[in-house]
Structure 1
Amino acid sequence: MGAQQVREGFEALYGAAPDGVWAAPGRVNLIGEYTDFNEGFVMPLALPHTAVAAVSRRADGVLRLHSADIEGPVVELHVDELAPLGDTGWAAYPAGVVWALRSAGHVVTGADVHLASTVPTGAGLSSSAALEVVTALALSDLFGLGLTPQEVARFAQRAENDFVGVPCGIMDQTASASCTEGHVLHLDCRDQSVRQVPFDLPAHGLQLLVVDSRVKHALGDGEYAERRTGCEEGARVLGVPFLRDVPYEDLDASLARLSDERVRRYVRHVVSDDHRVERVIGLLDAGDVRAIGPVLTEGHASLRDDLRISCPELDLVVATANEAGALGARMTGGGFGGSAVVLVEAADADTVTKAVEEAFAAAGFTAPRVFPAVPSAGARRLEG
């Protein structure tokens, strides 16, 4: 949904024009999964799909929230009464941003918000981060907070961690806030330093496909938190602050010190995936884009076998795509459903897509949604 439609929806709801319209994208992660909360490295890119918010500031402490995508009336809250882990459904994401900003001492005296999003929900493409980031950027502009993209990301993450209750790392929010068109973002999750890495696939005759398995994931169900706890346990036993501090060349020796088989698997995945990010960076810098394909497939095996967050549909995407001529593929995002990324020769995109669709039909799975991942711009003001 475009800015004009969201503006018109706002006017119909609230009886006046908004102060402005903002957008923040979803993201897909090329490589580096479950590494962010281990203070490691990730490589996301922003998608063309965005959450768009029309927003006006208020001075009376009232926060009114409405989504064009979800049936229901305007959710009316009061900024003084916002409390973590309340049952406010989808509205917890934008409300959590208001709470996070006010908790840090920023003056936010209320707002009217109307949202619409084209980011698929439950597909592992960070629809929640897009809602958080677009809200944070709009409030920063309207209340003169002057937040940097990194600060926008931190407040959005705090909303999801402490208000909604999902212990995610900083990747999703940073990607939504900071990505640039035509680039993949190399993010160091320890210090939030970023590097925009050129990712011009058409120039190499390539395409990156996103395959939404249509299996909805729900990271609030404890599986994500369980793996985070296991990673923290591994770091504690190994005597390091975070798994990022375990050198890849010492991985075998480190694994030998872990008696818990589950923790050992998690540590092996995180340390090796950090190393895969470094390998991909090196290949992109060298202009050898095709060579990242096998690294993606290797990453999927680690997510499937060590972290154990894949599902039959995602495994079928990866196996079928590779058999049909893809250069490489892996599941992406938090897992337990969601999406996969597939690197293909542009000339083979239709063939690979058809093979995956036919494999899903033969297996009796819901038809997947397949679309190209076009590296797009991060959060920005559209109007006003």
Structure 2
Amino acid sequence: MTAADRAAALFAEKHGGASSAVWSAPGRVNLIGEHTDYNDGFVLPFALPHRTTVAIGPRTDRQLSVATLGSDGHLHDGPVVAIDELRPGNPTGWAAYPAGVAWALRDTGFELGGANLMIVGQVPTGAGLSSSHALECAVALALLNTVHHAPGEPGAPSLGEIARLVQRAENDFAGAPTGLLDQTASLACTEAHVLFFDVRTGDAEQIPFDPRSVGLELLVIDTRVKHSHSESGYGQRRRGCERAAELLELKALRDVASDDLAATLAKLPEDLRPLVRHVVTENDRVRATVDQLRAGRYAEIGPLLTASHVSLRDDYRVSSPELNLAVDTALDTGALGARMIGGGFGGSAIALVPVADRDRVEHAVRDAFERQHLAAPRLFTAVPSAGAGRDR
């Protein structure tokens, strides 16, 4: 049974009738370009095949009902909340994510009549693969569908506008100060491509990315160390970047020229210099990666991935012992490059690995975690997949 079939069946079981539509949105891997999005920089994500699926049925009483199939295999009901009473703090917990989307749509002027939502998620939570944004994007499209403003319908908001609505829900309702990377990736990525996205201008280019075609795989190593943007040092790093830009009298750190980096850093307090250095050099690494991919030189992106990890570990200071162990072990056993992904403080790493070395790298990583008495990591190949859409 597909996730769409499962969501539709659970909806019918709970509500006594068929859902009107089923939408889904994927998690993502950011190939490179970490912590650059909220600095108006460049990112290079692709969508995963792992998706969050939402079956929806419209209501006419302006109430929002949410339920989800938990990882324990049981159905978990959220509160039933009046659309007009939605506000940050009401509701809380996991239900804040779908409710926040309804709140953002309502406040933007969409006349939601209410809805029943049934959620089935396949994106690992807390793994740095953007499970919350997969949920929010699927809910946004499903709710827009109930008022005839889903993509492709007359008067529908653009994918960029939907991404900003989801960002507002995440920032102002759920309390996680994320940028635009995750929402844009979930909505706009296409199969067998990475999305070269300029956050400031909104310019986007689909760059072909099919590692298997050249005998490579991109291995995801989920350390199973949970992280949360709303609880981690993510917000502290973001505020540091904003302070640095203010001191430099710039709109964002994206405006620091690479050639002027040394002189720019000299103008800043010592605690802010590493943050700025990471953002500027990471933007350079994104552009260099794009150049290599355009030329079909996939193996050449390996050192760029590793340099990104070193910068995130040493300058931005958002890695963790488990992430470092995953990266170092992969590099020691055949990976061409590796780095942590996501906000940091846990979650996942990626490793660019020759297909012939995949098993050896996997076994080495598992053995390294076992020797450190850590939970067994979850490993899988990341396959660039399609973005959000309607399933039925």
TM-score interval for Structure 1 and Structure 2 normalised by the shorter chain:
over 0.9
CA 1:80–1:380 in 2, change beyond 3 Å: closer, same or farther?
A: same
2:77 equivalent to 1:77:
no
Residue 58 of structure 1 corresponds to which residue in structure 2?
A: 59
Residue 235 of structure 1 corresponds to which residue in structure 2?
A: 245
2:385 equivalent to 1:376:
yes
Distance 2:177 2:336 in 1: 33
2:118 equivalent to 1:117:
no
Using the TM superposition, name which of 65-74 and 45-54 deviates more.
65-74
Structure 1 residue aligned with 2:353, among 344, 347, 352? 344
Residue 192 of structure 1 corresponds to which residue in structure 2?
A: 202
CA-to-aligned-CA distance 1:100-127 (integer Å, 9 cap, x gap): 0110111111100000110000000000
2:376 equivalent to 1:367:
yes
Distance 2:288 2:188 in 1: 22
Residue 312 of structure 1 corresponds to which residue in structure 2?
A: 321
Residue 104 of structure 1 corresponds to which residue in structure 2?
A: 108
Residue 48 of structure 2 corresponds to which residue in structure 1?
A: 47
Distance 1:311 1:288 in 2: 30
Task: Give 3-state SS (helix, strand or coil) of 1:65's partner.
Answer: strand
Letter in 2 for 1:38: N
CA 1:37–1:106 in 2, change beyond 3 Å: closer, same or farther?
A: same
The answer to whether the 8 Å contact 1:140/1:147 transfers is no
Shift of 1:73: 2.6
Residue 172 of structure 2 corresponds to which residue in structure 1?
A: 162
Using the TM superposition, name which of 145-154 and 65-74 deviates more.
65-74
Task: Give 3-state SS (helix, strand or coil) of 1:119's partner.
Answer: coil
Residue 149 of structure 1 corresponds to which residue in structure 2?
A: 159
Q: Which consecutive residues of structure 1, in runs of 5 or more, have no partner in the other structure?
A: none
CA-to-aligned-CA distance 1:174-214 (integer Å, 9 cap, x gap): 00000000001111111222111000111111100100000
Q: How many residues align?
A: 382
Letter in 1 for 2:299: R
2:268 equivalent to 1:258:
yes
Residue 288 of structure 1 corresponds to which residue in structure 2?
A: 297
Which contiguous aligned blocks of 4+ residues in structure 1 show a shift greater than 3 angstroms?
Answer: none
Paired residues for 1:19-30 under 5 Å: 19-30=20-31
Using the TM superposition, name which of 313-322 and 85-94 deviates more.
85-94
CA-to-aligned-CA distance 1:59-85 (integer Å, 9 cap, x gap): 211100001116633421110000013
Task: Give 3-state SS (helix, strand or coil) of 1:335's partner.
Answer: coil
Distance 1:144 1:378 in 2: 20
Distance 1:349 1:108 in 2: 49
Shift of 1:239: 1.5
Distance 2:60 2:171 in 1: 27
* TM-score (structure 1 length as normaliser): 0.98
Shift of 1:147: 2.5
2:276 equivalent to 1:267:
yes
Q: Which consecutive residues of structure 2, in runs of 5 or more, have no partner in the other structure?
A: 150-155
Residue 214 of structure 1 corresponds to which residue in structure 2?
A: 224
Shift of 1:141: 1.8
Residue 67 of structure 1 corresponds to which residue in structure 2?
A: 68
The answer to whether the 8 Å contact 1:25/1:46 transfers is yes
Task: Give 3-state SS (helix, strand or coil) of 1:113's partner.
Answer: strand
Residue 132 of structure 1 corresponds to which residue in structure 2?
A: 136
2:356 equivalent to 1:324:
no
2:9 equivalent to 1:8:
yes
Shift of 1:286: 1.2
2:255 equivalent to 1:245:
yes
The answer to whether the 8 Å contact 1:85/1:165 transfers is no
The answer to whether the 8 Å contact 2:37/2:180 transfers is yes
Shift of 1:236: 1.0
Residue 152 of structure 2 corresponds to which residue in structure 1?
A: none
Distance 1:284 1:345 in 2: 16
Distance 1:99 1:86 in 2: 10
Identical pairs, percent: 51
